[in-house]
Chain A
Amino acid sequence: MQNPYEVLGIKEGASEAEIKAAYREQVKKYHPDRHQDNPLQDLAEEKLQEINEAYEYLMKNSGNGGSQSSGPEFAEIRRMIDRGDLGGAEAALGKIKTRNPEWFFLNGMLALRKGWYDEAIGSIQTAVSMDPSNMEYRNAMNSIMATGGGYRTQAFGRGYTSNDDLCRMLQCYCCADALCDCI
């Protein structure tokens, strides 16, 4: 996931009013009405989705480090992850001995930012199973899975097919091509 502050084009630690103003401005810029039947339509839609995600994320975690935090040390770790201070967040998480659901959740969010998706999925999954009623953990999990689904949809939307017979035919084609360069 990209840094939500960067997506909205604001400084780390911006106030709620600033976030809202930046969000409104960006939405206007990428609004689908402005890009109808225009080659940038797809890009604008994608950008808009990113902006929405970033805004939602910041709104949920604004104020005193998010309403869900079960202690001041967790709130601080949330802020570090938001700021992009991944090393600091990792060190702080390492110091905490009690591994409650929030610990696993934040460990997963940290892994996500690093690009360690396997660890992210495993850790957030642990958080979800320890505290199944927590919507924040569930939403995070769903959003990771949706990212992969989005890529597949785009590939299929562009005409990707995974037909087996076609594959075999194409293998023959490639072989023939490699052998005699006849095609």
Chain B
Amino acid sequence: MLGYIKPDKPDLKIKEFEIYGGYYCGICKSIAKRYGQFPRLVLNYDSVFLALLLAGISPAPEHIEIQRCFVHPSKKRTILYDSPEIDYAADILLLLAYYKLKDDYQDDRSLKAAVGAALMHGTFKKLTVAVPEKCAYVKDRLDELSELERSNCASIDRAAEPFAKLMEEVFDCPLLKKEKNGEELSGLFRRIGYHLGKWIYLIDAYDDIEDNLKKKSFNPLISQFGFDPQGETADEFKQRIRDRVETNLILYLAEIAKSCSHLEFKKNHGLIENILYFGLMRKTEEIFKKGTENHAESI
């Protein structure tokens, strides 16, 4: 996950903003407590959404504290403690981050990634105990993904499938099974994960077009729609496929929103709605504005 899933900050209530930060810090603290200081560096916002959803349907009260943290010494922060949902989201974040570093090393031989992956190896060992089935599943899907990339897959649906399946599986948290309607919840979370995976994969592919054209590396959109280096510029290519990409992205969001509407939230409802209808929609629109003339860098 790459930092695409965020709330639309101006539309958040101050209270919601504090809670959102509390989950973020809660994930960071959960990592520090169980895995030590180093893995905290891979923290990102995407994992917060999973924690918000999982905790949102749980009736257990939140344990909130306002305290200082040495990462941000200047100001006291809201932090959520003792939440199994946050622990799970943290595990998934680390698992995906570990594979991301390994992948970066394999692709670019980046030294930074190599050191990162080596330093996280101990954490990964612990994860294979904490969430064993998820580890095995994620690895298999990522292998499939690199296989598809090597064969220059010319279908965005086919290319996105391994990552979507991966997200489907990690959203199906074992904690859900403990609820009395566990089966139904697990089904809904799987649908959310699957479509969120497709959304992330496709938005990332569109975002990477210029870069991939320059480096001549794999991009499912370039493979499917065929970039013509003589006849068009990268911008014209993006313009040509824009509507089709947008239609797909919005359909994924529609499916995510629909599945979420079947969940009964006991908390975090406003925050989740903000992410679903404002944050994800904003990101989708931003991706198409980027690079076009009327969206020249304003600051």
Report A's interface with B, CB cutoff 8 A.
43, 46, 111, 115-119, 121, 144-145, 147-148, 150-152, 154-155, 158-160, 162, 164, 168, 170-175, 181
Residue-wise, chain B 270-294 has the 8 Å CB interface mask toward A (1 for contact) of 0001000110011001000000001
| Contact call A148/B278, Cβ cutoff below 8 A | no
B30 nearest CB across to chain A (Å) = 23
| Contact call B299/A118, Cβ cutoff below 8 A | no
Please list the 3 inter-chain residue pairs (A to B) with the smallest Cβ-Cβ separation, ordered nearest first.
A151-B254, A116-B157, A148-B250
Residue-wise, chain B 233-272 has the 8 Å CB interface mask toward A (1 for contact) of 0000000000010011011111101100100000000000
> Whole-angstrom distance between the alpha carbons of A171 and B11 in the complex?
13
Report B's interface with A, CB cutoff 8 A.
8-11, 74-75, 155-158, 161, 164, 194-195, 198, 244, 247-248, 250-255, 257-258, 261, 273, 277-278, 281-282, 285, 294-295, 298-299
Q: Which of B10, B75, B164, B198 has the most CB of A within 10 A?
A: B10
Q: Is the interface of B mostly helix, strand, loop or mixed?
A: helix
Q: Which of A117, A154, A158, A172 has the most CB of B within 10 A?
A: A117
| Contact call B277/A118, Cβ cutoff below 8 A | no
| Contact call B248/A151, Cβ cutoff below 8 A | no
> Whole-angstrom distance between the alpha carbons of A46 and B238 in the complex?
35
Which residues from A are CB-within-8-Å of B257? 151, 154
| Contact call B250/A158, Cβ cutoff below 8 A | no
> Whole-angstrom distance between the alpha carbons of A46 and B244 in the complex?
26
B193 nearest CB across to chain A (Å) = 11
Q: How many A-B residue pairs have CB under 8 A?
A: 74
A21 nearest CB across to chain B (Å) = 23
| Contact call A118/B248, Cβ cutoff below 8 A | yes
| Contact call A119/B155, Cβ cutoff below 8 A | yes
Q: Which of B75, B250, B252 has the most CB of A within 10 A?
A: B250
19 pairs of residues in contact across A and B, judged by CB atoms under 8 Å: A115-B194, A115-B195, A115-B255, A117-B248, A117-B251, A118-B155, A119-B155, A147-B254, A152-B281, A154-B257, A155-B278, A160-B277, A160-B282, A170-B9, A170-B10, A171-B298, A172-B298, A174-B9, A175-B299
Q: Which residue of B lies closest to A155 (CB)?
A: B277
Q: Which one of B157, B250, B254 contacts A111 once the chains associate, using CB atoms below 8 Å? A: B157
Given A117-B157, A170-B10, verify A148-B294 contact (CB < 8 Å).
no
B3 nearest CB across to chain A (Å) = 14
> Whole-angstrom distance between the alpha carbons of A96 and B75 in the complex?
67
A61 nearest CB across to chain B (Å) = 22
Q: Is the interface of A mostly helix, strand, loop or mixed?
A: helix
| Contact call A155/B255, Cβ cutoff below 8 A | no
B140 nearest CB across to chain A (Å) = 18
A103 nearest CB across to chain B (Å) = 18
> Whole-angstrom distance between the alpha carbons of A22 and B253 in the complex?
30
| Contact call B10/A173, Cβ cutoff below 8 A | yes
| Contact call A118/B157, Cβ cutoff below 8 A | yes
B267 nearest CB across to chain A (Å) = 16
B24 nearest CB across to chain A (Å) = 14
Q: Which residue of B lies closest to A157 (CB)?
A: B277
Q: Which residue of A lies closest to B253 (CB)?
A: A151
Which residues from A are CB-within-8-Å of B273? 158
Given A117-B157, A147-B251, A148-B251, verify A162-B285 contact (CB < 8 Å).
yes
Q: Which residue of B lies closest to A173 (CB)?
A: B10
Q: Which residue of B lies closest to A1 (CB)?
A: B255
| Contact call B75/A148, Cβ cutoff below 8 A | no
Known contacts A46-B261, A118-B156, A151-B253; 13 further A-B pairs (Cβ under 8 A): A115-B194, A115-B255, A116-B157, A117-B157, A118-B248, A152-B250, A152-B281, A160-B278, A168-B299, A171-B298, A172-B298, A174-B9, A181-B74
B68 nearest CB across to chain A (Å) = 14
> Whole-angstrom distance between the alpha carbons of A89 and B8 in the complex?
41
Given A117-B252, A147-B251, A173-B10, verify A158-B157 contact (CB < 8 Å).
no
> Whole-angstrom distance between the alpha carbons of A145 and B247 in the complex?
8
| Contact call B278/A118, Cβ cutoff below 8 A | no
Which residues from B are CB-within-8-Å of A117? 157, 247-248, 251-252
